[in-house]
Amino acid sequence: MAKKPQTPHELLPHLFRQEYSKMTAVLCRYFGLKNMEIAEDIASDTFLKASEHWALYGIPEHPAAWLYTVAKNKTKDYFKHRSTFDDKVKVEIEKQTQDFHQELSFTEDIISDSQLAMIFNVCNPCLSKEAQICLALQVLCGFSVEEIANAFLSNKETIKKRLQRARTHLRKENFQIKSLDETSLQSREQVVLKTLYLLFNEGYHSQSSDRVIRKDLCLEAIRLTLTLTKHAATNSPKANALLALMCFQSSRFTARIDSLGETILYDNQDRNLWNQELIDRGNYYLVNACSENTISKYHLEAGIAYWHTTLKDENKWPNILQLYNQLLQLEYSPVVALNRTFAFAQVYGKTAATQEAEKLDLDTNPYYHALLGYLYETHNMPLALHHYQKAIDRTHSKAEKKTLQNKMENLKKESSEPH
């Protein structure tokens, strides 16, 4: 069991990740999205006060409740001491909240509804996918500009401009955060799920960091998707399928990376390190996803991920290949085509799969050359080494470069040994 944080310095970052986005969502619901900066300022001031007060007087018995009480008090102070509020903001709030209680409250239901509304607000079709992810990381996950810049290997100024443009769009649209009607939910479900899917993938297949897996991004994506499944209005088969996919993929986190931070390929992973609890949760959400006659890319990918968590089953790879065939028909992508070719190799052999891979002609893609390197290992070692080198030249991940270099060294050693 993990040791419980004992000092404010240890506890506050954890609470910030957990509570900041909830607090901001409720405050935005109260103040209106046009005044998002006011909500964020109050939330930030609350955590600043906690860092100062707790350092002197210790951590309170119920830290999260303490934070929400301070946030309520700071909101009341804002009413009292800001004349501009009475002149401008309060009028706007009253227009937007005719059916909303003026007393600010942080009940579990209000927090849940507010977070859900914020998710659907941030995942706005008018924004680019990069802007949606950046905004999701900042507003929904509490990431700083610097953390977002690090995640995308970008500079802070670029991220700031991207966020400013995104926020301007949101204010202009004036999306109502206090209530979500069925039409709004249905019209945005696709882009919401896609944003959460991309957020998870940015963590799971990180090309923007020296780490192959950014667990913090993956966990935030899971947390937000779980929010959808907990709300009756958004507990859809697609949301459950996406959550199942995330659970299955996350179950192999520990087994995918060794102690040096290098990738461990699927065939070489220690199955004892797979998280059975997450696999069981994935099974639960996958069953829920099949409650209606709905098939989406998330259902198919979750099915593929499910089969990857099974150990010995003669139907495993044929089933995976069939699901990849369906996925390609539903929505083509180079990544899916590459993964489908790997599955093809497991069913029909590497030589036959080599011909399939060559047809893809994805010369700029590092995974394409890594796959060809893998396929040529058994019957053309020089070509295998050639493609592994091309993969090294094309990847931006230092961890993946190191993994591929080690693979080449081992192959050279094996080929030079007498047989």
Number of domains in the chain: 2
Query: Is 338 contained in some domain?
Result: yes
DSSP states of 305-336 as a string? HHHHT--S-TTHHHHHHHHHHHHHHHS--HHH
On whether both 347 and 307 belong to a single domain, the answer is no
> Do 296 and 367 fall into the same domain?
no
Q: How far is CA 269 from CA 41, 93, 252, 308, 397, in A?
A: 46, 55, 9, 12, 20
Same domain, 336 and 410: yes
In a domain, 196, yes or no: no
Boundaries of domain holding 257: 236-311
Q: Final residue of a domain: which of 279, 311, 343?
A: 311
Cβ atoms 164, 37 nearer than 8 A: no
The answer to whether 408 and 385 are in contact (CB under 8 A) is yes
Question: Tokens for 37?
Answer: 């900066």
Report the CATH number that the domain containing residue 349 is assigned in CATH. 1.25.40.10
**pLDDT (0 to 100) of residue 98:** 45
| Cα-based distances in Å from 280 to 4, 248, 256, 287 | 26, 9, 19, 11
Q: Report yes or no on 244 lying in a domain.
A: yes
Query: Is 297 part of any domain?
Result: yes
Residues 240 and 278 occupy one common structural domain:
yes
| Amino acid present at 131 | A
At 263, is the secondary structure helix, strand, or coil?
A: strand
Threshold 0.95, pTM exceeds:
no
Q: Can you give the pLDDT at residue 101? A: 44
Looking at the structure, do residues 297 and 254 belong to the same domain, yes or no? yes
Asked whether residue 399 is assigned to any structural domain, the reply reads: yes
What's 11's DSSP letter? H
The last residue of a domain, from among 250, 279, 311: 311
Q: Rounded to a whole number, what is the distance in angstroms from the first to the last CA of the chain?
A: 49
Residue-level pLDDT at 362: 93
What SS3 state is found at 230?
Answer: helix
Domain match, 290 and 343 both: no
- Does a structural domain hold residue 379? yes
Q: What does the H/E/C string look like for 355-385? A: HHHHHHCCCCCHHHHHHHHHHHCCCCHHHHH
What pLDDT, on the 0 to 100 scale, is given for residue 158? Answer: 92
259, 298: one domain = yes
In a domain, 96, yes or no: no
**pLDDT, tens digit only, all 419 positions of the chain:** 445 556 888 888 888 878 888 899 899 888 887 788 889 999 999 999 999 999 999 999 999 999 999 999 999 888 877 655 555 565 565 555 444 445 788 888 888 888 888 888 888 777 888 888 888 888 888 788 887 887 776 788 999 999 998 888 877 776 656 566 777 777 788 888 988 888 888 778 765 555 555 787 888 889 889 999 998 889 999 999 999 999 999 999 888 887 777 778 788 888 899 999 999 999 999 999 998 888 999 999 999 999 999 877 889 999 999 999 999 999 898 989 999 999 999 999 999 999 999 999 899 999 999 999 999 998 899 999 999 999 999 987 787 888 899 899 989 888 766 55
* 51, part of any domain: no
- Residues 339 and 403 occupy one common structural domain: yes
Same domain, 306 and 344: no
Number of H-type helices and E-type strands within the chain: 21, 0
